[in-house]
Amino acid sequence: MGKFYIDGGKRLEGSLRVQGGKNAVLPILAATVLNGDISYIKDCPKILDVSTMINILKSIGCSVKWEGKTLIIDSSTVSSYEVPENLVREMRSSIIFLGSVLGKYKKVIISYPGGCPLGPRPIDLHLKALKQLGVKIKEEHGFIICEASKLTGAKIHLDFPSVGATENIMLAAVLAEGKTVIYNAAKEPEIKDLQDFLNGMGAKVSGASTDIITIEGVKSLHKVEHKVIPDRIVAGTYLIAAAITKGEVKLTNVEPNHIQAIISKLKEVGCKIHEEKNSVYLKAPKNLKSVDIVRTQPYPGFPTDMQAQMMSLLTMTKGTSIITETVFESRYKHVEELMRMGADITLEGRTAIIKGGLDLTGTTVYAKDLRGGAALIIAGLVAKGTTIVEGAKHIERGYERIDKDLNLLGASIRKEN
Ligand code: UD1
Q: Which string of DSSP letters, residue by residue, matches 393-410?
A: HHHHTT-S-HHHHHHHTT
Give the span between the Cα atoms of 382 and 61, in whole angstroms.
47
Average pLDDT in the chain: 95
pLDDT tens across 202-211, in order? Answer: 999 999 999 9
305 in the same domain as 375? yes
331 in the same domain as 210? no
End residue of a domain, out of 206, 227, 248: 227
Rg (CA), the chain: 21
pLDDT band at 314 (very low <50, low <70, confident <90, very high): very high
Ligand 1: does its nearest atom lie under 6 Å from the Cβ of 159?
A: no
pLDDT tens across 223-275, in order? Answer: 999 999 999 999 999 999 999 999 999 999 999 999 999 999 999 999 999 99
298 in the same domain as 374? yes
End residue of a domain, out of 227, 244, 276: 227
Give the span between the Cα atoms of 44 and 378, in whole angstroms.
25
Is 116 considered catalytic here?
yes
pLDDT computed for residue 55 by the predictor: 96
The CATH number assigned to the domain holding 367 equals: 3.65.10.10
Residues spanned by the domain of 164? 22-227
189 in the same domain as 87? yes
Q: Which atom of ligand 1 is nearest to the CA of 124?
A: 23
Mean pLDDT of the region 127-146: 93
250 in the same domain as 219? no
Q: How far is the CA of 164 from the centre of ligand 1 (A)?
A: 6
| pLDDT at 355 exceeding the cut of 90 | yes
Main-chain phi, psi angles of 235, to 5 degrees = -60, -50
357 in the same domain as 385? yes
Probe residue for ligand 1, chosen from 123, 163, 329 as the CB with the greatest number of ligand atoms within 8 Å = 163
Mean pLDDT of the region 172-193: 98
Inter-helix orientation angle 189-200/22-31, to 10°: 30
pLDDT band at 120 (very low <50, low <70, confident <90, very high): low
Q: Which residues contact 159 (CB under 8 A, 6 or more apart)?
A: 125, 184
> Which amino acid does the sequence have at 363?
T
81 in the same domain as 48? yes
Ligand 1: does its nearest atom lie under 6 Å from the Cβ of 123?
A: yes
Ligand 1: does its nearest atom lie under 6 Å from the Cβ of 124?
A: yes
Number of domains, the chain: 2
Output the residue whose Cα is nearest ligand 1's atom 8: 298
| pLDDT at 290 exceeding the cut of 90 | yes
CB 10 within 8 A of CB 413: no
**For the whole model, what pTM was predicted?**
0.97
| pLDDT at 284 exceeding the cut of 90 | yes
Mean pLDDT of the region 118-138: 90
264 in the same domain as 208? no
pLDDT computed for residue 177 by the predictor: 97
Ligand 1: does its nearest atom lie under 6 Å from the Cβ of 327?
A: yes
User: pLDDT above 70 covers what percent of the chain?
Assistant: 98
Run of H or E including 353: strand 351-355
202 in the same domain as 107? yes
pLDDT computed for residue 56 by the predictor: 95
End residue of a domain, out of 176, 200, 227: 227
Say which of 44, 62, 116, 146 is annotated catalytic: 116
208 in the same domain as 324? no
256 in the same domain as 394? yes
268 in the same domain as 213? no
Q: Which residues contact 244 (CB under 8 A, 6 or more apart)?
A: 284, 288, 312, 313, 316, 378, 379, 381, 382
